[in-house]
Structure 1
Amino acid sequence: MPATPENFDVLISGGGLVGLTLALALDQGGLKVAVIDRLPAAEVLEESFDGRATAMGFATYRMMESLGVARHIGEVQPIQQILVSDGRVGSPSRKGGPSSLTLHFDQAETGTGEEPLGWMIENRRTRLALDKEAATRPGITRFAPDEIVDFTILPGHVEAKLKSGQQLVAPVIVGAEGRGSFVRQKAGIRTYGWTYGQTGIVTTIAMDRPHGGVAHEYFLPTGPFAILPLMGNRANIVWSEKTARAQALLAMPRADLEHELARRFGDFLGNVRLDAPVWSYPLSMELAATWAKPRVVLAGDAAHGIHPIAGQGLNLGLKDVAALAEVLVEAANLGQDLGDLAVLERYAQWRRTDTMTLAISCDGFVRLFSNDLAPIRALRTLGLGLVDAIGPARRFFASHAGGAVGDLPRLLRGERLEARL
C-alpha cells in the first residue's frame, strides 16, 4: 500500500550548505519545509567529509547571524586584508608575500568601517552550525539518508517520490543538490559551460608565523594559488593546477608535496606543514540555461558552478538563498501560489545579472592570469597596480567580494523574514 503523501510548502532537494540555509530562511518566514538529502547527517558532519573553507562575505555572514547560525559556529577568522599579486613558482624576487605591484584591500573598503572584508570559516563548522540550528526548528523536516527518485508536476502542486517510498507534496520543489542536480535534469533544464583543464587542490596547512588575518592570492601561470587565513597559525589552501600536473602532485609523498607548497609560499610565513588530508576536484564552468520552470526552481551550484578564483561559489549560493526565501515568503504572505512561474521568475531575475556578471568576470580572470605570455604578464601586473591606486575601484571590487552590491535581500542586510499572521 503506497505511503500517505505528506504536505509541505516547499521541498528542497539537497541538504548541504545551500539547501539547509534555505530551509532555515523559509522556516523563519513561517513556511513548512522538507529537506531531502541522500547522505546521512552523521557522514557530512565528519571532519574527513569536506576539507574546504569558505571566505564568507560580510553580507552573507549577516544572514548567518540573522538566522541564528553564527552563534553555533564559534570562533571565526576575520579577513582583515586581501593581497593579490602576479608571480611565478619559486620566484626569488618575491620570496612569498606581496610583489612590488600588488592589489590591496583592507577593512576601509567595506564602507562600514566596522565589518572585516569577510570571515574564513571551515565548511565543517558551518555544517555543524546549520545542523544544530535546524534541529531547533519544528517547521523543518529532514529526510536523510534519502533522495528524490521521481517527481510529477500537477495542477497546483508537485508530487515527489523518495527512494524510501515516502511521497511528498508541495507547491514548489527546489533543486539545491549541486552541479549534478537531479531536479534540474528531471525538469529538462539544460546547462552550458566548459572545463578549464585544471584541478583544484584543497588542504589546510600549519605555519611557523602568524598570518595576521591576511588572505593572499597569487596568480601563477598554471592557475591561482590562494592562502586563506584560519584560526591559529593555520591557513586553507586552494591551489589550481593543470590537471596532469595536479595528478602528479597528488601522487607525491607528503614531504615532497610540502616542498612544492613551500616553493609557492616563499618564506614569509616560515615553514609550512600539511595539517589535514588533501582533496581535489576538477574545475569547470556550468550554468543553467534557465533557473525556473513552473513549480521548479534552482539555487546554488545547481544553477551556477564557477571557478574558485574569486572564492565566490558558496557566497553566490547563499545570495540565492536570501533572494529566493524573500520571494517565497512574500508570495505566501500575499496568498500567491509559490510554484507559479511568475513568482519564481521574480527570484530568477533578481539573481541573474549578479551571477552572470561574476561568472563572466571569473572566467575572464582565469584566462587572463593562467598563462605566462610576457606581454600579457606586463599588462596584468600594471593593471593590478592601477586598480590598487584608485580607491573607488578597490571599493567596487571589495563590495562585490563582500556580497553588498545591488538590491540586497533583507537577510543580506541582517534583517529577519517575518510571516504575516
Structure 2
Amino acid sequence: MSVPPPMRSPDLGRQLRAAMRGVPAPVALVTVGPPTRACAMTVNSVVSASLDPALLMLSVHADARVKPHLFAEGRFGVSFLAAEQRWLSETFASARRPTGPDVVRLLGGRCTTAGVPLVDGALSTIECRLVADYPAGDHRVLLGEVIQVLRDSADRTPLVFHRSTYTTVAATEVGRRTTGRSIAMSGRSETTDVCVVGGGPAGLLFALLAARRGRSVLLLEKRADLGGGPPLSPFLHPPTLQVFERAGLLDRLAAGGQRITGVSEHGPDGVTSAWKYGEVPGCAFPYALSVPLAHLSRTLLDALSAEPRVTVRTGVTVRELVPDDSGSYAIRAEDDSEFDVTAGFIVASDGKFSALRKMAGIESDVFEFDRPLLQFLAPRGEEPAPRMRVYRYGENSAWTMPIAGDEQVVLWLADEDELARHREADVRELADKVAAAIPDLTWVMDRITGWDQVTEVRHQVVQPHAWHRENVVLLGDSAHGVHSLGGQGLNMSLQDAVLLAEVLDEAARDRGRLGEYEAVRKPFVESFQRLQMSLPALSSRPRALVSGDDPPPSLVDVMALGQEELRPLFARRSTADR
C-alpha cells in the first residue's frame, strides 16, 4: 500500500500545537557526553516505544544544536525532571544554555561509565544507544536502545508542561478527594547563624572566615565528594594569595602549586610588551600561583574540619526557600529525608546558574560569548621564570599558561562554525590550524594527539539585578559570571568572601547593612564585565563601552592589586583569621 505524502498547511500545524498544549507532557533533559564537550537540551516528546526490546523514542528539531553531538557520540541520556528541577528545564531550553563541564556541574556531577551526563535527583535517568533516526517534517525522530535505567525516584513529584506552563500532578486516584500538600515546615529542622549553599572554593573560604568570626555555619553541597573536581589549575593572583596567607593556608597551597612571575605579549615580530608582578607598585607577591582545584578544595576542607562551629553536609539538594512571617527565608532541603534549615543568613554560592538565586526571585541578565574557548593540555619546556604568554597574530589570539606539574594549557578562541567542522575530523587538523595561525606554538601543538587533551568551554557574563534579597545573599559566580580572560572568575569569588565575611559582622546587628556588600563590590565587578563584553576577540557581537559608565579597571591592576576598596582587607591580619 502506498502512503500519500503528508499534507502541508500552516493552519494544521497551529491547530495541532494548540491541541497538544492541552495534553500534559513530562519534561526531560536529553544529554550527550563526554564531560569536556557535554551538551543538554530540554524536551517533552519522549515515549517508551517498546519493552522487548527496551526502546525509547524522542523527537528533536532538525536544527537542534544537540543533534550533531548525539549522532557523533552514538549515546545519550534522558533524565525525567522532578517538580523542583524546573530551573534546569528553563536553563537548557534557553538559546544561551551552557555546554562543556558546566553542564556536568549543573546536573550534579553524575555521569555513566561511558561519560554520558545525567541529572542527579531526577525522577528517572536512562542511558540509551542511538539505533535509528527518521526524518519527520521539521523534526527528527530518534530511537534509542535502553542500555540501563540508572535511577528511579518514583516517590518524587514530576515536572509537567501543560497549557504552555510548568505544573505538576498529584499521585492520587482520579475522583478521590484529597486535602492537598501542606506548606508547613517539615518535622526535622536545624538552626544556624549562616547557611552556605554550594561547596566550591568561594563557599568553603567564606564558611571558614565566618566560623573564625564566631558564627555557626552549615554548608550544604549537592555533590557527594568535595575533595575532587575537574582537572583544572586556576591562577590565584597576589591579592588572593594575601587572603590565604592571612588565613594561614598559603604555605600548604604553595607546596602543590606553580609560581607564575608575569605576563608577556607576542606578535609576529616577537615580544610586544611584558610585565612582572614584582614590578607593580604595591603588589604583595612577585608571583601568582597555579593551584590544582582539587588541592585548593582539600586545603580548605582540612581547615574547616578543625573548626567546631562548621558542619559540612554533602549529598544534599535544596528544594525550596520558604518565607516566614518576618520576611526572611528558611531552606527546605533533602538528603535521605526532607529537613528545614532556619538561618540568620543564607549564602548562595551555587554557581552562575544558581538555583537558589532563582528561588529567591532574583532575575539576571546573561551575555553569552559566542566564540568558544578551547583548552589544549600539553607538556611545557624548561623555563627559569614561568609566565603567561599572550599571542596576537592579526585576528587570531591565543594564550599559554603554565600549570602545576610539568604541563601547560594553551587557550584558543575558536570560530563556532569552524569548530563544528573540526569536530568531525582528526584532532590533528585543529592542532595544525592553531600552529599555522600562531607559529610560535608549533612545537606545543605537535604534542596534541587526541581529543582527550582538548576541553571546550563556553562563557557567559551573568549580571543579577540584585545581590541580595531579605536574608539571602549571592557569592561568587552566583553574583557574577565572567569570562576566564585574566583568570578572574575564581579570584573575584574568593575576594567576595573576604568582603562578605566583614559586612556580615555589621549585618548581624542591622540587616540593612547587607547592602554595603553589594554597594562596594557590584559596580567594580560590572565594570570589569563590561570590559570583557566589549572585546571583539571574545565575541562577534561585542558591546561598545557607554560614555558615562565607570571606566573599566586596568587588567594589570585587577590581577596584581585587586579592587582598591578591598586592598586594606587583603592586607589586614587579625587573630580571628588564623
Distance in 2 (CA, whole Å) between partners of 1:195 and 1:144 is: 31
| 1:236–1:416 distance in 2 versus 1, CA, 3 Å | farther
Distance in 2 (CA, whole Å) between partners of 1:236 and 1:109 is: 25
1:19 Cα offset (Å): 1.0
1:250 Cα offset (Å): 5.0
Equivalent residue runs for 1:279-318 within 5 Å: 279-318=455-494
TM (norm. structure 2) is: 0.59
1:20 Cα offset (Å): 1.0
Distance in 2 (CA, whole Å) between partners of 1:248 and 1:120 is: 33
Contact 2:378 2:448 in 1 (8 A): yes
Do residues 225 (structure 1) and 398 (structure 2) align?
yes
TM (norm. structure 1) is: 0.79
Equivalent residue runs for 1:406-417 within 5 Å: 406-408=564-566, 411-413=569-571, 415-416=573-574
Distance in 2 (CA, whole Å) between partners of 1:227 and 1:29 is: 40
Q: What are the ranges of 5 or more consecutive residues in structure 2 without an aligned counterpart?
A: 1-184, 541-552
Distance in 1 (CA, whole Å) between partners of 2:203 and 2:230 is: 16
1:82-130 superposed Cα distances (whole Å, 9 cap, x missing partner)? 0134x5xxxxx45xxx44xx23211343324761242222222212222
Which residue matches 2:227?
A: 45
Which residue matches 1:77?
A: 258
SS at structure 1 position matched to 2:385: coil
| 1:368–1:208 distance in 2 versus 1, CA, 3 Å | closer
Do residues 402 (structure 1) and 560 (structure 2) align?
yes
| 1:246–1:129 distance in 2 versus 1, CA, 3 Å | farther
Distance in 2 (CA, whole Å) between partners of 1:227 and 1:149 is: 41
SS at structure 2 position matched to 1:418: helix
1:206 Cα offset (Å): 0.4
| 1:249–1:413 distance in 2 versus 1, CA, 3 Å | farther
| 1:175–1:266 distance in 2 versus 1, CA, 3 Å | same
Equivalent residue runs for 1:56-205 within 5 Å: 56-73=236-253, 74-85=255-266, 93=268, 98-99=270-271, 102-112=272-282, 115-154=285-324, 155=326, 157-164=328-335, 165-205=338-378
Distance in 1 (CA, whole Å) between partners of 2:284 and 2:195 is: 38
1:233-282 superposed Cα distances (whole Å, 9 cap, x missing partner)? 42123332223333444555454454445446534794453597432222
Which residue matches 1:384?
A: none
1:133 Cα offset (Å): 1.8
1:69 Cα offset (Å): 3.3
Contact 2:388 2:400 in 1 (8 A): yes
1:351 Cα offset (Å): 0.4
1:368 Cα offset (Å): 6.0
The one-letter amino acid paired with 2:565 is D
Which residue matches 1:367?
A: 536
Do residues 9 (structure 1) and 167 (structure 2) align?
no
| 1:51–1:169 distance in 2 versus 1, CA, 3 Å | same
| 1:228–1:271 distance in 2 versus 1, CA, 3 Å | closer
Q: What are the ranges of 5 or more consecutive residues in structure 1 without an aligned counterpart?
A: 88-92, 372-394
Which residue matches 2:495?
A: 319
RMSD across aligned positions (CA): 2.9
1:15 Cα offset (Å): 0.6
Distance in 1 (CA, whole Å) between partners of 2:204 and 2:312 is: 9
* Structure number with larger C-alpha Rg: 2
Contact 1:206 1:274 in 2 (8 A): no
1:22 Cα offset (Å): 1.0
SS at structure 1 position matched to 2:195: strand
The one-letter amino acid paired with 1:70 is L
Distance in 2 (CA, whole Å) between partners of 1:271 and 1:223 is: 17
| 1:399–1:271 distance in 2 versus 1, CA, 3 Å | closer
Identical pairs, percent: 20
1:144-195 superposed Cα distances (whole Å, 9 cap, x missing partner)? 1112111123227531111221211101111111111111101111111321
Distance in 2 (CA, whole Å) between partners of 1:265 and 1:129 is: 38
1:1-57 superposed Cα distances (whole Å, 9 cap, x missing partner)? 94431111111111111111111111121111111111111xx534xx413322211
| 1:212–1:262 distance in 2 versus 1, CA, 3 Å | farther
Contact 2:240 2:494 in 1 (8 A): yes
Distance in 1 (CA, whole Å) between partners of 2:356 and 2:327 is: 18
1:71 Cα offset (Å): 3.6
| 1:243–1:128 distance in 2 versus 1, CA, 3 Å | farther
Contact 2:378 2:453 in 1 (8 A): no
Q: Which has the higher contact order (CA 8 A, sep 6+)?
A: 1
SS at structure 2 position matched to 1:133: helix
- Which range is displaced more, 233-242 or 309-318? 233-242
The one-letter amino acid paired with 1:318 is L
Which residue matches 2:546?
A: none
Contact 2:278 2:285 in 1 (8 A): no
Distance in 2 (CA, whole Å) between partners of 1:207 and 1:223 is: 22
Structure with the bigger percentage of helix: 1
SS at structure 1 position matched to 2:370: strand
Which residue matches 1:388?
A: none
